[in-house]
Amino acid sequence: MRTLVLSGALAGGDRMPASRRLAADLGVSRSVVEQAFDQLLAEGWLEARQGAGTWVSGGVVHRSRTAARRGAPAPERPLVMLDAGTPWIDPRHEAVWRRAWREVSTATPPRGYDDPRGLPALRTLVAERLGRTRGLAVDADQVRITGGIGAGLRHLLAVVPRAPVALEDPGYRAAVATVHESGRTVRDVPALEPVRDLAGCAAAYVTPAHQHPLGRVMPAADRLTLLATARRDGALVIEDDYDSEFRYDVAPVPALASLDRDRVAYLGTASKSILPSLRMGWCVVPDGWLDDFDAHRRLTHDAPPWPVQRAMVTLLRDGYVDAVVRSARRVYAERAPRVVAALSPHAEPLPARSPGCTPPGCSRTPAPSGSARPPRTPGSG
């Protein structure tokens, strides 16, 4: 009855058949129809008129406009998605993707809550990949699997002192929101200047490999200045290494954490290279914070689902991640000049030795206006 009213087949003011007749037509007990009528009367779809039967409520408006929209012809050309941060995946690699989920379907899941640190096999593969691609020499015991950058940041904020957090300005709005949700204030630091003061800050959140949204690689001198400042002022440096795979002039710049494993917490993600909806990331936590980090995760049971972790083991083990990154890097490198040309009347590209673009198609560009994550405006912290 609800469907008939919503579709317009029954309009406001239409009289409903008697319950006895409707029950006979449907071949059900009369009490079934009466219970259905009572429910629809309570929800306001029907109204009872004394001595005149049951009617469709006059205030109900059906979905004729929605139905008309659904019947509209599709556009001649498919829409091009320009949303930020959606990776391009070469369809030639779909076989490995499907194999990963077949393996999940035949594997035996843990009976209870699995290891909050992440599957040992996955941590081993991530540690190997970090050493090979990011110059970060760690072992599996130092890697923690998270639900992405945001989840890793939340866990880190739970174990540092309750004090302000420094963030690049302009910077990543989701990080700003996460800091505020933790009950802390944000201290803005200019994105393109060395960080020389972290006094009173619990941590500093930075994107050194590809500053978001301005696109610059943090120079070596600025990296050393940041680390010296953090050591002097007792702050933890949180490195968001969100898309370091995509660089087209030289090899990817080594992670900031490779310069100081005791002071830098490293955050990585699969969102920009594999699929955002996996909600999969990893964190390398300095030893001084690791025990508290693990205790917080055990307490909250906050870990990616076991099936996703198990599928990721296959994707890394069988070369899927390396293959899709290589394919995407070639495609983005071809698209980057076209994006630069389109933006040239409005913006000046960064020097040639800065990163190119990443998803979608080219959602992070060499130009200052090419951002894969919505920037926050100056002072918004």
* Section 336-343 average pLDDT: 86
Q: Residues 122, 145: contact at Cβ < 8 Å?
A: yes
* Section 61-73 average pLDDT: 49
CA dist 370 and 381 (Å) reads 21
For residue 43, the model assigns a pLDDT of 82
Structure-model confidence comparison of residues 162 and 365, the more confident one:
162
Long-range contacts at 4-12 (CB < 8 A, ≥ 24 apart): 5/45, 5/56, 5/60, 5/62, 6/62, 6/63, 7/62, 7/63, 7/67, 8/62, 8/63, 8/64, 8/67, 10/56, 10/62, 11/56, 11/62, 12/56, 12/57, 12/58, 12/59, 12/60, 12/61
pLDDT in tens, 150-193: 999 999 999 999 999 999 999 999 999 999 999 999 999 999 99
What would you measure as the largest C-alpha separation in the chain, in angstroms? 88
CA dist 297 and 116 (Å) reads 6
Say whether pLDDT at 361 is over 80. no
Please name the fold of domain 2-64. Arc Repressor Mutant, subunit A (1.10.10)
> Considering the domain 95-318, what is its CATH architecture?
3-Layer(aba) Sandwich (3.40)
Domains 2-64 and 95-318 agree in fold: no
Domain ranges for the chain, please list them: 2-64, 95-318
CA dist 376 and 169 (Å) reads 7
